[in-house]
């Protein structure tokens, strides 16, 4: 009986570590791990097509800028936006200067991560990014693709969404990115 209890206790302790493992082929130097209120999301950054944007995401993760930041805009069937570690409501950016666009031919589809920007300037991306729930080809060539969700799209699907018909997509009491880390920095 004691052996069975010891085995069960070991299993309970080991399960979270197994459940939190990263994809085997992940380039940890070019990936971020988001531990959210709904679970873990792993993003492979595309430093090959958007090196400045990928570097910015990594820098902000290392700065702790993204910790406890809400998914402030989540629109069913479209995208979940986050990254405002200044004002926490979608109106802020980081202390770093805005980035020039790094457009590519990569399409916006389910799991694609893009850099958000002000609608009036293609060179206004700073800290905010979004994850597509489905095809968003109307964004192709207008926003910088910075990566892809390689684990945890089911978690993204669970994020609290704005009410149906909401034009702004603003979420009341949103889910948050509790901790964001560059995968190679994780212990």
Provide the token pair at 70: 């809400």
Q: What is the pLDDT of residues 128-140, one digit of tens each?
A: 999 999 999 999 9
**Using H for helix, E for strand and C for coil, what is the string for 84-105?**
CCCCCCCCCCCCCCCECCCCCC
Provide the token pair at 117: 């920007």
The whole-model pTM stands at 0.89
CA–CA dist 154, 29 (Å, integer): 24
Strand 176-182 to strand 31-36: parallel, antiparallel, or no bridges (unpaired)? antiparallel
Instruction: Answer whether 57's CB lies under 8 Å from 148's CB.
Output: no
Q: Per-residue pLDDT averaged across 1-7, rounded?
A: 43
Residue 35 confidence (pLDDT): 98
Q: What is the pLDDT of residues 71-117, one digit of tens each?
A: 999 999 999 999 999 999 999 999 999 999 999 999 999 999 999 99
For the chain, the average pLDDT equals 91
Residue 120 confidence (pLDDT): 83
Provide the token pair at 96: 């770093």
Residue bearing the bigger pLDDT, 10 or 76: 76
Residue 173 confidence (pLDDT): 96
User: Could you give all domains of the chain from N- to C-terminal order, each with its CATH number?
Assistant: 30-185 (2.40.100.10)
Q: What is the pLDDT of residues 33-62, one digit of tens each?
A: 999 999 999 999 999 999 999 999 999 999
């Amino acid at each position: 009986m004691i052996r069975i209890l010891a085995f069960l206790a070991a299993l309970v302790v080991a399960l979270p570590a197994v459940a939190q493992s990263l994809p085997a082929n992940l380039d940890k130097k070019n990936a971020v791990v988001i531990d959210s209120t709904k679970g873990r999301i792993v993003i492979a950054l595309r430093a090959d097509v958007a090196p400045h944007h990928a570097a910015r995401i990594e820098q902000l993760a290392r700065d702790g800028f993204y910790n406890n930041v809400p998914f402030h805009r989540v629109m069913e069937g479209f995208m979940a936006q986050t990254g405002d570690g200044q004002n926490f409501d979608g109106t802020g950016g980081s202390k770093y200067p805005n980035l020039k666009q790094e457009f590519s031919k990569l399409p916006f589809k389910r799991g694609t991560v893009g850099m958000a920007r002000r609608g009036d300037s293609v060179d206004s991306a700073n800290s905010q990014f979004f994850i597509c729930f489905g095809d968003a080809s109307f964004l192709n060539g207008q926003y910088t693709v910075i990566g892809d969700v390689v684990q945890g799209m089911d978690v993204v699907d669970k994020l609290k969404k704005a009410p149906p018909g909401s034009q702004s997509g603003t979420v009341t009491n949103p889910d948050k990115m509790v901790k964001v880390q560059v995968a190679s920095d994780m212990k």
